[in-house]
Amino acid sequence: MNGQGGILVDSLVDRFQTALYTFKRSLESDLLHKLKTQITAPQMFMLHFVSRHGACRLTQLADKMEVKPSAVTVMIDRLEKSGYVTRTHDTADRRSVLVQVTPEGIDILEKAMLERKDALARFLARLEPDEVRTVTELMEKLAGAGEESDPSALRRPGSA
């Protein structure tokens, strides 16, 4: 960035980045504490992705999370050990492993979404109603109104 305006924008970008990171960490910490589970935020993201898209290959998950397949394998091992996912071989390609969310995985996701909503409500309670509306509209604009986090959108195993 050039000139005085560029310095101001750089400063605002730094402040926004710090605030966003701090908010995200606070929200995740609050959520994981309330759930009383050893599941991590990336594992929760993975559960959410699989629940929305149905059975997924490990390579799909690695691509989506922008990590190596070996990192996904470690996360899936832990989720499987907790009973939140199962692995099966793809009937079309026995070399491929598919991951699917179990009913227990759906239950923890639904609980997490409700807890996250409660945590967000507590954070937003610090603001005036007009500020909440403004922040929400700005976040929607920045996010491009991405995927909703509606618990009813989760796919239960065996559902179409």
Q: What is the pLDDT of residues 121-145, one digit of tens each?
A: 988 999 999 999 999 999 899 888 5
Long-range contacts of residues 9-17, Cβ cutoff 8 Å, at least 24 apart: none
Q: Which residues contact residue 157 at a Cβ distance below 8 angstroms, ignoring those fewer than 6 apart?
A: 100, 101, 102, 103, 106
Residue 154 has what pLDDT? Answer: 52
User: For the sheet containing 97-101, what is the strand order?
Assistant: 56-57, 97-101, 85-89
pLDDT attached to residue 76: 92
Q: How far is CA 136 from its chain centroid?
A: 18
Q: Which residues of the chain fall below pLDDT 70? A: 1-5, 145-160
Domain chopping of the chain, boundaries? 37-142
Q: Among candidates 76, 123, 121, which has minimal Cα distance to 102?
A: 76
> How confident is the model at residue 43, as a pLDDT?
86
Architecture of 37-142 per CATH?
Orthogonal Bundle (1.10)
- How confident is the model at residue 51, as a pLDDT? 92
